Amino acid sequence: MNAMNDIGAVQTILPKAPKCVSAWRSAAMVLAIGAAACFSMPEQLGLLTRIFVTALLVLSLDLVVGVAGLATLGHAAMFGVGAYAAGNFALHVAPDPLVGLAIGMVAGGVLALVSGLFLLRYQGFTFLMLTVAVSQIMLSLAQKARDWTGGDDGLSGFMNSPLLGRFAFDLEGKVAAGYSLIVLVVLFYVARRLVDSPFGLAVRGVHENRARMAALGTPVFRRLLAVYTAAGLLAGAAGALSAQTNAVVGLDSLSFALSAEILVMLVLGGAGNLNGALLGAAIFTMLHHTASSINPYHWLFVVGFLLMAVVLISPAKALALLRRRLGGVQ
């Protein structure tokens, strides 16, 4: 009897082992929330589609910034290249959206791989500035290559064939919203698996402490290149979705402003856990939409204040304040 009590005591003393959240459960949650939003706001499908696409792009950024710990201001480069690749593919080769999506992913992934071979030899501020340089180079190339990008007029005039040969892209945007949501959910699931795998753990380890990882025998450069390429694939997918659902690709898809904006979204939602990326993208895009319809000139003020609030007030403090307001116990 005594012995049994002892065992019970030991088990209660030992804290629970760390455990990852199940990947399919979090993906199912995203699907449920996204679908609920689509059904409850059928007149806002355009906005929701934009949120899904932006969320995928911020998710990709989270792999680089939050997971691998590499601050970048050039992430739009992979997005824009994916968008132009998908647009050109639809215009010149075939209008199938899924093949176009794959082409966009490959384009983003290849750019990440090639630029990463050079960029990832640097860290910190040097890396940050070089990512800006790479995206600016891509932007100038896009401005010059008018035949492929339409220059300042943008690339347009391409259409999508029906999805899987059955679902034609309608004017209300039902198919576009459903398609973007499903791509987001699938790639979110993939990203979740990636982050919770031994590979993801090693990349997070590099974020935490490079010297430690090198001392454990991690090929640091190769791991970072792999995660950067994976992020490029996701950003390319977001670009392709953007091209297909808007039927136009502009130079702004490669702009510095977009790179900075998605970083703001990531900070807003919280970097490093993937869920925050989706949350930040949703909040920012909705806020942008609402604030700019109230005042098209000064909506950035709202975003500015919000960002200051996020940086200055820690989530713990905000939660405590909220609890006090709601009369809950501390």
Partner 1 sequence: MSQLLEVRGLDKHFGGLHVTRNVSFQVAAGERLALIGPNGAGKTTLVNQVSGVLRPDSGAIYLQGEDVTPRSQAQRVRAGLARTFQITTLAPHFPVQRQVELALFEREGLTGRAWRSIDSYPALQAEALELLERLGLRAHASVATQDLAYGEQRLVEMALALALRPKVLLLDEPMAGVPKGDGARLLAALDSLPRELGVLIIEHDMDLVFRFASRILVLAEGAVLANGTPDEIRRDPKVRAAYLGP
- Are residues 136 and 256 in contact, defined by beta-carbon separation less than 8 angstroms? yes
User: Binding partner 1 by CB under 8 A: which of 136, 196, 286, 299?
Assistant: 196
Q: How many residues bind partner 1 (CB under 8 A)?
A: 33
Dist. CA 115–CA 124, nearest whole Å: 16
- Binding of residue 194 to partner 1 (CB under 8 A): yes
Residue 279 phi/psi, 5-degree rounding, is: -60, -50
- Binding of residue 121 to partner 1 (CB under 8 A): no
Q: Quick one: which H or E segment has residue 317?
A: helix 315-325
Radius of gyration of the chain (CA): 22
Query: Measured from the CB of residue 7, what is the shortest distance to partner 1 in angstroms?
Result: 15
Q: Quick one: which H or E segment has residue 92?
A: helix 76-92
- Determine the residue type at 57: L
Query: Measured from the CB of residue 202, what is the shortest distance to partner 1 in angstroms?
Result: 4
Query: Measured from the CB of residue 115, what is the shortest distance to partner 1 in angstroms?
Result: 21
- Are residues 113 and 230 in contact, defined by beta-carbon separation less than 8 angstroms? no
| Identity of the residue, 18 or 327, whose beta carbon is nearer to partner 1 in the bound complex | 18
| Identity of the residue, 201 or 319, whose beta carbon is nearer to partner 1 in the bound complex | 201
Query: Measured from the CB of residue 220, what is the shortest distance to partner 1 in angstroms?
Result: 8
| Identity of the residue, 26 or 88, whose beta carbon is nearer to partner 1 in the bound complex | 26
User: Binding partner 1 by CB under 8 A: which of 123, 126, 143, 197?
Assistant: 197
| Identity of the residue, 136 or 218, whose beta carbon is nearer to partner 1 in the bound complex | 218
Dist. CA 91–CA 98, nearest whole Å: 14
Rounded (10°) CA dihedral 90, 96, 102, 105 = 40
- Binding of residue 316 to partner 1 (CB under 8 A): no
> Cβ neighbours of residue 63 under 8 Å, at least 6 residues apart?
191, 194, 195, 227, 230, 231, 234
- Determine the residue type at 231: A
Query: Measured from the CB of residue 112, what is the shortest distance to partner 1 in angstroms?
Result: 16
Task: Give SS3 for 155.
Answer: strand
- Determine the residue type at 237: A
**Sign of torsion, CA 287 292 298 300?**
positive
Binding mask 5-24 for partner 1 (x = CB under 8 A): --------xxxxxxxx--x-
| Identity of the residue, 126 or 209, whose beta carbon is nearer to partner 1 in the bound complex | 209
Q: Quick one: which H or E segment has residue 206?
A: helix 198-208
Site for partner 1 in 202-261 (CB under 8 A): 202, 204-205, 208-209, 211-212, 214-220, 223, 226
Q: Which stretch binds partner 1 (CB under 8 A): 108-116, 150-158, 189-197, 318-326?
A: 189-197
Query: Measured from the CB of residue 15, what is the shortest distance to partner 1 in angstroms?
Result: 5
Dist. CA 54–CA 262, nearest whole Å: 8
Dist. CA 265–CA 281, nearest whole Å: 5
Query: Measured from the CB of residue 66, what is the shortest distance to partner 1 in angstroms?
Result: 12
Query: Measured from the CB of residue 23, what is the shortest distance to partner 1 in angstroms?
Result: 7
Dist. CA 21–CA 40, nearest whole Å: 28
- Are residues 61 and 274 in contact, defined by beta-carbon separation less than 8 angstroms? no
| Identity of the residue, 34 or 276, whose beta carbon is nearer to partner 1 in the bound complex | 276
Q: Which stretch binds partner 1 (CB under 8 A): 127-135, 166-174, 194-202, 245-253?
A: 194-202
| Identity of the residue, 123 or 140, whose beta carbon is nearer to partner 1 in the bound complex | 123
Query: Measured from the CB of residue 217, what is the shortest distance to partner 1 in angstroms?
Result: 3
Which residues in this chain contact partner 1 in the complex, by CB under 8 A? 13-20, 23, 193-194, 196-202, 204-205, 208-209, 211-212, 214-220, 223, 226
